[in-house]
Structure 1
Amino acid sequence: MIKVRNLTKYFDDKQVLNDINLDIRTGEVVAIIGPSGSGKSTLLRCLNLLEKPNSGTIEIKDVKLDTQKYKERDAYQLRQKTAMVFQHYNLFKNKTALKNVIEALLVSKKMKKEEAIQIGVDLLKRVGLEKQANQYPATLSGGQQQRVSIARALAVKPHAILFDEPTSALDPELVNEVLQVIRELAKEDTTMVIVTHEMQFAKEVADHVIFMADGHIIEQGTPEQVIEHSLNPRTQRFLRQMGDETDESARQKRK
Structure 2
Amino acid sequence: MTALTAQRRGSRVRSVVLPAAVVVGLLVLAQLLTVTDVLPRSYAPPPTEVLASLGRMLAGAAVWADIGSTLVGWAASLGIAVALGTVVGLLLGSVRWVQWLLTPVVEFLRPIPSIALIPLVILTIGGGRDGEVFLAAYAAVWQMLVAAIYATASVDPVARDTARAFGFTRIQTIRWVTLPAMLPGLVTGVRIASATALIITVTSEIILGVPGLGSGLNLARNAGDLTRMYAYIAVIGVVGLAINTVFTAATRRLLWQGGRR
Q: TM-score, normalised by structure 1?
A: 0.26
Q: TM-score, normalised by structure 2?
A: 0.25
Highest Rg: 1 or 2? 2
- Structure having the larger proportion of residues in strand: 1
- Structure having the larger proportion of residues in helix: 2
